[in-house]
Amino acid sequence: MANADIARGFVPVNALGANYCGALTRYFIPAADSTAMAVGDMVRYAGSADADGVPTCVRAAAAQAVVGVIVGFEADRPSENDTHRTASTARYALVADDPGQLFVGQQDGTITAADIGLNADIVVAAGDTTNGLSGMEIDTSTKNTTATLQVKVVSVDLRPDNEIGLNTDCIVKINNHQHGSHTGTAGV
């Protein structure tokens, strides 16, 4: 059975040594940021905060250290779209930012069993404004042991509709995490 090619960013599943309990941190995305963002997008610190001290974040680019993944947005007004953040709109994002957090993400190419344990960067793509899901995926072309790559492939998401090969959903951990004490660990 072939895997469906459905990019949807990264979805939290659990943390190393524990079940995912839904712990989130609030981040601010200022109106000056002209990038639309979606649920499942990886983000990084922007180096500032709002007037209350809530840290700002921006969408992560390939090869950058990451702080976490957006799992939702706060709605300030009833008319506001809750599925994504429109470009140049001030919004608060809820981010899964625990360094031990695991996520499911789709590979953009083909993997084999030998790729488990390797690191990779992400593919950054625009999110879907209809369903609010990210277009980010794991960049298969960057698979390597390099410690500074963004994610570590921990395993394949074990589901009946998912198999090793093309467009495989994998369990990953942020390898180059901004809350970590180093720039990542080498893949194996």
99 domain residue, yes or no: yes
163-187 per-position pLDDT tens digit: 999 999 999 999 999 998 778 888 8
Query: Which residue, chain included where needed, has tokens 């090793």?
Result: 164
For residue 170, what pLDDT is reported?
95
Domain count, the chain: 1
Residue 186 within any structural domain of the chain: no
Specify whether the CB–CB gap between 95 and 67 falls below 8 A.
yes
Q: Would residue 180 count as lying in a domain?
A: no
Whether residue 183 is contained in a domain is answered as: no
184 lies in some domain:
no
Residue 64: what pLDDT?
94
- Determine the pLDDT at residue 4: 81
Residue ranges in the chain whose pLDDT is less than 50: none
**pLDDT reported for residue 19:** 60
- Whether 29 is covered by a domain: the verdict is yes
pLDDT (tens digit per residue) in 76-99:
665 556 677 877 889 999 999 999
Q: Identify whether 152 is part of a domain.
A: yes
**What pTM did the predictor assign?**
0.91
Residues in the chain: 188
Q: Which domain holds residue 147?
A: 10-174
CA–CA dist 90, 146 (Å, integer): 36
Q: Note the Cα 19 to chain centre separation in Å.
A: 18
DSSP state of 180: S
Question: Between the CA of residue 109 and those of 20, 30, 137, 168, what are the distances in Å?
Answer: 28, 34, 10, 8
Q: Which two three-digit tokens encode residue 9?
A: 């960013």
In a domain, 84, yes or no: yes
